[in-house]
Structure 1
Amino acid sequence: IRDGYVYAAVRKVSTKEVKINFYCPEEKKQVAEPTVVVNADATCVNSSAYAALVPAGYELVEVGDMPIRDGYVYAEVRKVATKTIKINYYSEEEEKQIAEVEMTVPADATYVNTSKLTAPAGYELVLAGDLPIRDGYVYAAVRKVPTTTIKISYVDEATDKEVGTEDLVVNQGTTVVNFNVLKSVPAGYELCEVGDFYVGNGSAKVMVRKTKSNNGSSSSSASSSSNTTNTSASNTTNTSASQKQVVKAAAAPANTTKVLPKTGATNAAPLIGGSLAVVALLMGYGVYGLVLRKKD
């Protein structure tokens, strides 16, 4: 150790792939051929390296180091003899059977561990550990799980407003729930997250967003609304223009009447008045001429 450090030299390990040939002599067939990675200089593979790869319903005939030949390991397997038993889930409090399910176990099995059992919904196993098999049955005592109701509030992530609710029944003391148990996501919305979410104090807020199809519909509606508005505006403009044209057309005859040089009551009076004014002016000049002659 130098200054709190240990220098540990390493080098890359050269590896190779080896195929495990699981072969069943009884059935005269290969049942699987998985691959394992071993050191490049390995000449054998221990059965512990591929025990987990044995196909369901089979077991290894031999264990230990098995030789590698031409990139293969021959691993003999045989079918596991099995039997079918029934699990009797019984509630002693209610004095009734809750469920009865079948299970396949090895033929020589004398017990079933509770880790392999799943209690009916709303119930839990009373005992844990190995339960004996008697006459093809396993008696598994269960009891009702105390439940509580959680109020789920669906909130639109865009507006931060509640768009729906759901009452979710969970086991008492539950603090984490998976999103897949939710059944009342508001129509037109989808969950923003997947996995688990926290529930506490009898309520939980779940964020949702509008689905793409819903957004598309909204856009279409908005577009349709916009088109309607534009159409209305266009119609209004066109109507106003038409009205203006009609007004101008109606006013035209009045202007025409004012400028007509033809005969008519409206135009005759000014002509007669003008003629009389000219005659009066000429007479005035005649009288003025006579006065001047008298002076001379």
Structure 2
Amino acid sequence: MNSRLKPLKILPFEQCKTKLAEQIEFENIESDLIHQELNFTESAKDAISQIVKYHGLNREDEVYIVTTSDSSFVSSCVTSTLFNFCKVSRVLTEKTKLIFVIHEFGIPCNKVEALYEVAKKRKIPLIEDSAHSLTSKLKRQYLGKYGDYLIHSLPKTLPVKNGGLVIKTSDRFKLEFVQSEKVKIDFYKNLHHLSFSHHERIKQYNRYHSLIEKELVYGTVNEACPFCFGYIDTIENVKSIYSEAQESHIEMVKTHNKNWVTIPLNPWYSESDINRILKLIGAINENGS
């Protein structure tokens, strides 16, 4: 292991010291946010817990989970939190008491509109989990239009250590969140980084897309602001890449999908950082071409 190599971390907080964010105007997303009902929790998991408690789910109740890719991968942060209260299911049943739509790594789940109608008919809550992206859109609108709650994990987007954000987008339920003043302060202190984060992630995604001639996990992202770039390879190649990444101090996104190579899109990566990753996966040679 080469101890002289600079570690490349997934989360912004651990990488931003080496690169200052530019001031970029981005469709007034900052002002769009502050005019919504924002709730600041200790973490995204804390937000999930507060919602489930409020709606009184018990051990026999089920949460129906739907994801963008419909793969077997569901974040353990979500499932472990839900298992403290109830069961989880990948099918809709009579025991479903809450619908949980995961916009996987910031890529919108196109089933959310239909599931909104199901939730409304059954009079049960719908959570949109956009933990990895605060600026993704679906049909030209920011995520959260269909859910009663939109959950985001602030460290995934901004250079902060912790904190969850819940945007209430409907008035069907009257949950008052237990809020964290520290998280609120950190959020507003770092909100000006949001435009930079958005543009850098899309730029990095498009660069990987242009250089990698493999089947992509998500393809063209359109209105999304993705957290990572994923492509499909042989299990042997994936194992080799992840092993070499560990040796090279490059932190990769891990999922349960053994044939996915999932590369973090960290806005604070430098050009040389990105080239290290491209060389790791064989997209460019040692000369950078």
TM-score, normalization by structure 2: 0.21
Q: Highest Rg: 1 or 2?
A: 1
Per chain length, whose mean CA-contact separation is higher, i.e. which structure has more relative contact order (CA < 8 Å, sep 6+)?
A: 2
